[in-house]
Structure 1
């Protein structure tokens, strides 16, 4: 989802302005009944072979993942099938009701059915078969101007957008729940995917194994060491979970090498940052998609600094803090003179000069359109942020706190040392993504009594929470025209009528949102956990 994670963060509309039931909120029985009715609708009406996309029209005549989906498709990208599986497990933990465990197993079956021979996953699964999927890629996918990862089916698995990570973390949780052997082969294949795809230096490519080549900037970017969307961090998270629970002897070495790749790819001072991706074998920042030039990336650098501090907490090894000050000094130096709408930094910084690089586009669709880079900050892309909010002072304060904490103390409770159970809840604890309509699910979540009452009251007669679908897309109507359509599409999320990319609409219709379901269920789970 890359920039799409932050593309359309609409206000959650499931909490409609309905009167609260009472000061103390709904009863436990009412909360349980609401949760069960909402889940029954999703499993019986919305699910396809146990899997889910992101949003649906009420009559299911149209449905969307990151792009419009066929009726036979489910989405692996969060908040899709794996995230729904996490939520069902959370509900099972909160209620003890086997109904939710059964829903989780159905989601797992969808993922297992769509797991690739390599052990990983693509962004989506099409239960209509290979011909149906090929048709989608040749039509909807190929004409989504800015969605270059969907313009080709490379025939391999991807670490992009946390889809594979979410799926394998969910399968691990589900297997641990009852040690049911039917989930172990798929989990083992997923573990193999992570271990086999890791480079000797510890990094991971975006996609693996190498598929049919796709050329952008004259090269196939998918094999480069990838930090974009925290690919390495998500894989480390899974391996830590694996080490913590099953004690897989292969995990510890893979984790150490993965953490060390952050060290060896950090660029020399005075530009001590990182790019979205780094090449082999020279470990230099490289270009990726057409709107991701060869450059240092400020938001990626901030994320990697946070990860290095996390690694210090995991290991107590001071090497992970050693060059953090250099990165923070560089981030401070390249900050904008004045923030722009709360954004403090340009996204991309030119290597060697510290000059901001800004990405623009011309044309109207994937056929006649093109991206280009210059130093002008005006009329930048609407679908990919030209500016980022980087909290350098907060990062520096955390660094100073960790630097003053003895290694043996900071890592005293590290899951690399202490084996034990995973957290009780996942779906709303570590989910920072959106289905483009339901807002972001953020953690930890617990409804107030009034809010819980509204959630109970606003579940409609069919069993879903009405949510304005503020994102839509053009239906596929044929290949884009070679001549640009009149108009200015430089800053819009979508091009002309031939562009199938998602875009925000000022005339939303009410529909079914997967992320709204996940968030609302999480709020009600919080109510139960609080003793309602």
Structure 2
């Protein structure tokens, strides 16, 4: 779909950003022009429906129905990816390609929305409320309130994604004279400070944190152990304070600190990341079950979380820990991060339920696959649990185990120096202020048909629409404006523009 007559579009684009004109041929130049126009149109359309600069996950085309993970209102935005920080990263990515100040301005609006949603505890809830009457339900720093929800959420890459976006934004805008950047800087500094305070003495974090300091006497630093006796039904009480691996929260927190260290040079963040890395060693359960649990109590023993998540060893989270240990070895060069891996691999290889397939949870002490349900009890077959939980949770699968083992094998066989000579550090901070090295022209030509399909699917209002149900929002609504699709398509267009940019 040509958004402008070809000759006019080339003239307009050449006048606006001559350094980005592709020198390949007229066809490539025309497609680049259309790609740039589509980026501009889609970004401006999405920015126009933002709430105070922030975003939800999805909107009906008439904007009457909105949602994040659940239903939302016109005065709310979502933090959890693919929400507000993820969209902000997309604006920074396009700014790196085009140098159009609109995208940096849009990213600044996103950052300022997060400033207004930061809690006194330094992090963010899943959503941010802008209705003045409802904002009193949260202890937002901006409001200087002493009441309301003050729970920073580390589950699902929530607070972490916000902090990493703010780090990237300030890195990109460091030469900007905009005075509002000082507010963003102060928000980031407070968030990182509180992230350090939320870390337990052993290097772990809770799933959520309300800002109250940890009493070191209640959280001793000692190796993990397997309890000889534990509750067979979920007990009453909150699990938010447990040491948590679930949903990669520990990895996301560790990556955030390493990103902060790389971008700022502040070794306080590196030291906290090292404590987080050392915690992985402490948290490995002893033989004969040398894997990791989803969550642990203050004595570093596997503990209950949700009604269907009993104390157990878990293959999914353990695969993530194995990858993280390899990454930390590559980052810090300390071989102690590799030592927990061989016994974990040996256990995994001997407990497949089918080739390349594992149960997600195995019972402590017996190695039996176990399953959970909303009845708060432990079950031993899928047939015992409700239909809703049978299909609402990943009880069996590959869980990335085979890939994690292969990654460890490749790195250790190659050697750290040789690996890093050919591969970027797993924690390399990609500056959003500079464009990547352009790829080959042949790669760009191969991508051209997909780019044309993508451009043709942009509707006249500037949105890419999905046609799928969102059961938790409105099952009857099947057409959506989705931030996830915007993020994905923006990334494809930026990659194409990088590939066809002039050297």
Superposition TM-score tier, normalisation by shorter sequence: 0.7 to 0.9
Answering whether residue 472 of structure 2 is matched by residue 454 of structure 1, we say no
Superimposed CA distance per residue, residues 364-400 of structure 1 (whole angstroms, 9 cap, x where no aligned partner)? xxxxxx4543101235522211113145444333323
Out of 373-382 and 107-116, give the one that drifted further. 373-382
RMSD: 3.0
Q: Give the CA deviation at 1:130.
A: 5.7
- How far 1:132 sits from its partner (Å)? 6.6
In the other structure, the counterpart of 2:59 is: 56
Which runs of structure 2 are paired with 1:95-494 in the superposition (5 Å)?
95-129=98-132, 131=134, 154-179=149-174, 180-209=181-210, 217-280=235-298, 282-337=299-354, 344-361=357-374, 370-378=375-383, 379=387, 380-406=389-415, 422-424=430-432, 448-473=447-472
Distance change (3 Å), C-alpha of 1:253 and 1:70: same
1:133–1:300 CA distance, 2 compared to 1 (3 A): farther
Q: Indicate conservation of the 8 Å contact 1:244/1:416, yes or no.
A: no
* Gap change, CA 1:31 and 1:392, over 3 Å in 2: closer
CA positional deviation for 1:156: 1.1
Aligned partner of 1:70 in structure 2 is: 73
Counterparts of 1:221 and 1:394, CA distance in 2: 30
Residues 391-422 of structure 1 deviation map (CA, whole Å, 9 limit, x = unaligned): 5444333323333455566678999999x963
Question: Displacement of 1:23 after TM fit?
Answer: 8.2
Structure-2 change in CA distance of 1:530 and 1:330 (3 Å): same
Q: In the TM superposition, what are the counterparts of 1:508-519 in structure 2 within 5 Å?
A: 509-519=478-488
**Where does residue 143 of structure 1 map in the other structure?**
none
What secondary structure is seen at the aligned counterpart in 2 of 1:128?
coil
The verdict on how the C-alpha distance between 1:178 and 1:446 changes in structure 2, with shifts beyond 3 A counting, is farther
Alignment of 1:488-527 (within 5 A): 509-527=478-496
Separation (CA, whole Å) in 1 of partners of 2:445 and 2:117: 34
- Aligned partners of 2:280, 2:373: CA distance in 1, in Å? 30
Shift of residue 36 of structure 1?
Answer: 0.8
Instruction: Give me the whole-angstrom Cα distance separating, in 1, the residues matched to 2:293 and 2:127.
Output: 27
Q: CA deviation at 1:154?
A: 4.9
Q: Distance in 2 between matches of 1:384 and 1:321?
A: 30
Q: Distance in 2 between matches of 1:23 and 1:416?
A: 37
1:240 and 1:416 in contact (8 A); partners too: no
Q: Is the 8 A contact 2:194 2:211 kept in 1?
A: no
Shift of 1:185: 0.1
* Distance in 1, Cα, partners of 2:485 & 2:136: 27
Q: Cα gap change, 1:394/1:131 in structure 2, threshold over 3 Å: closer, same or farther?
A: closer
Q: Which of the residues 37, 41, 46 maps onto 1:42?
A: 46
Change (3 A) 1:408 1:38: closer
Higher relative contact order (CA 8 A, sep 6+): 1
Q: Which moved more, 1:511-520 or 1:463-472?
A: 463-472
Higher percent of residues as helix: 2
Contact kept in structure 2, 1:291 and 1:371, CA below 8 Å = yes
Deviation readout 1:346-370 (Å, 9 max, x if unpaired) = 1111000000111235xxxxxxxx4
Q: CA deviation at 1:26?
A: 5.2
Deviations 1:255-297 (A, max 9, x none): 11000000001001121111111111x2111111112111111
Residue 218 (structure 1) shift: 2.0
Residue 28 of structure 1 is matched in structure 2 by 32
After TM superposition, give the deviation of residue 464 of structure 1 in Å: 0.7
C-alpha displacement of 1:474: 6.4
- Structure of greater Rg: 2
Equivalenced residue count is: 429
Q: Distance in 2 between matches of 1:456 and 1:208?
A: 44
Deviates more, 1:309-318 or 1:77-86: 309-318
Q: Partner of 1:125: helix, strand, or coil?
A: strand
Contact 1:447/1:524 (CA < 8 Å) preserved in 2?
Answer: no
Unaligned stretches of 5+ in structure 1? 1-21, 136-152, 362-369, 427-443, 476-504
